[in-house]
Amino acid sequence: MEEVEVAPPQKNEVRIKILFTSLCHTDLYFWEAKGQTPLFPRIFGHEAGGIVESVGEGVTDLQPGDHVLPIFTGECGYCRHCHSEESNMCDLLRINTERGGMIHDGESRFSIDGKPIHHFLGTSTFSEYTVVHSGQVAKINPDAPLDKVCIVSCGLSTGLGAVLNVAKPKKGQSVAIFGLGAVGLAAAEGARIAGAGRVIGVDLNPKRFEEAKKFGVTEFVNPKEHDKQVQQVIAEMTDGGVDRSVECTGSVQAMIQAFECVHDGWGVAVLVGVPSKDDAFKTHPINFLNERTLKGTFFGNYKPKTDIPGIVEKYMNKELELDKFITHAVPFSEINKAFDYMLKGECIRCIITMGA
C-alpha cells in the first residue's frame, strides 16, 4: 500500500472516489505480466463503483455527487461506431491495454514524489481516487448498491450480453456454455433471463458444476471424462446439437467445439473468450454451408454509457440476480487475499471495500 497523488481531471475527464472495486481475471493476467507489453509501476483495477468528486473542462453529462461505474472501454458519442446501432467499439475509447496515460495529453494523473505511475485500461480502480475519461463513465441510479452493481462494469455484462444481445436464444431453446468462470456464469444468467430450456455447462473443473446449478445450468460435460470429441457428446445429448452456444474460455479448441456443437439449420455460436495471439480457428466450411452461424462479441455488445445504466435497472427491478456472483469480500488493506482467492479458483467475484 502506498500513498499516491491523484491530479485534478483535465479536459473531458472526471475524478472519481472509488467506494467498491472487485477483482477480475484480466487484472490478474496483466499483474502476472502475461498480457501485451508489461508496463510497471501501474495501478490495476477496472471493475468498480464510485462517486464523481470533480469534473474537468468540457464535461457536461456528469457532475460531482453522481453515482457511476468506470468502464474499461468507452463511448465518445461521435465516431462511426458510436453512431452505429450495431457496434460498441468506439474508435477513440475502445479497450487499450498498452496505454499508460490519459488520451488528452498522454500523461498520467497518478504520481509518487513527482514520478508518474501508469494507468490501466483508463480506469485504475485499485486507488481511493482515480481519473477517468468521461466517455468511460456510466452514470447509474443513485439508489443502486454500489457494492453489488460494481460487478456490472466488466465480466458480468460481457457474459450476459453475449447471450441476450448476440446469441438471442428463443424461449425453451438449448444453450451450451463453455467455461464456467464468472463470464460463463453470467452467460448462464442471460440464458435464465431469456427463458432457455436446457443449459449445458462445459468445464474441465468438476468443482464448478455444483456452483453452476445456482445459475440455472442443468447439465454438465467434462471433456476429460469422454473419449469422443465434446461436439459429438453434445450432439448426441441434444439430437443433433444445441440451438445456441457461448464460448467463455479463450481456448481456441473450445471455440471450435462451441461452433461445431450447434445444430445445423439454425444454430448460433458466440465467441467471448480472448485467444492467444498465434491461435488460428480451423473448421470445415461445410459447417457454415449447413447453416450454422459463428459470431463474436466484445463487452456483450453493450455501449458503456448508453446501455450499462439499464443493466443496473434490471437488478433494481429484480430481473437480474447479482448477489450470487459475489462469493467473497475483503477490505482494501487485504486486497492480496482477493488475488489469492482468484489464483486458487475459489471465488467468482470478491468485493474490495475502499477506505477499509
Does the active-site annotation cover 79?
A: yes
Which of 82, 150, 261, 347 is labelled catalytic? 82
The three cell numbers of residue 349 are 467475484
Which of 26, 158, 249, 297 is labelled catalytic? 26
Question: How many helical (H) and strand (E) elements, i.e. helices and strands, does the chain have?
Answer: 11, 16
Rounded distance between C-alpha atoms, residue 320 and residue 185, angstroms: 13
Which of 15, 133, 292, 349 is labelled catalytic? 349
Does the active-site annotation cover 349?
A: yes
Does the active-site annotation cover 244?
A: no
Which of 79, 99, 198, 327 is labelled catalytic? 79
Which of 15, 21, 47, 67 is labelled catalytic? 47
Q: Using alpha carbons only, how large is the chain's radius of gyration in Å? A: 20
Which of 25, 42, 99, 198 is labelled catalytic? 25
| Contacts for 34 with CB less than 8 Å, ≥ 6 apart | none
Does the active-site annotation cover 238?
A: no
Does the active-site annotation cover 97?
A: no
Q: What residues pair up with 219 in beta bridges, in sequence order?
A: 200
Q: Is 186 left (phi over 0), alpha (psi -120 to 50) or beta?
A: alpha
Which of 15, 94, 244, 292 is labelled catalytic? 94
Does the active-site annotation cover 198?
A: no
The three cell numbers of residue 175 are 444453450
Question: Per residue in 96-120, is it b (16+ CB within 10 Å) or e — as a string?
Answer: ebeebebbbeeebbbeeeeeebbbb
Does the active-site annotation cover 26?
A: yes
Q: Where are the beta strands (DSSP E) in the chain?
A: 5-6, 13-22, 47-55, 67-70, 110-112, 115-117, 129-133, 137-139, 175-178, 199-202, 219-221, 244-247, 268-271, 293-296, 326-331, 349-353
Which of 13, 15, 24, 244 is labelled catalytic? 24
Which of 13, 21, 123, 154 is labelled catalytic? 154
For residue 183, give the DSSP letter: H
Which of 46, 67, 119, 263 is labelled catalytic? 46
Which of 76, 150, 248, 347 is labelled catalytic? 76
Q: Where are the beta strands (DSSP E) in 46-113?
A: 47-55, 67-70, 110-112
Does the active-site annotation cover 25?
A: yes
Does the active-site annotation cover 248?
A: no
Rounded distance between C-alpha atoms, residue 315 and residue 140, angstroms: 12
Does the active-site annotation cover 47?
A: yes
For residue 83, give the DSSP letter: H
Which of 53, 67, 81, 90 is labelled catalytic? 90
**Of residues 280, 239, 284, the one with CA closest to residue 262:** 239
Does the active-site annotation cover 208?
A: no
Point out the residues that are catalytic.
24-26, 46-47, 76, 79, 82, 90, 94, 154, 349
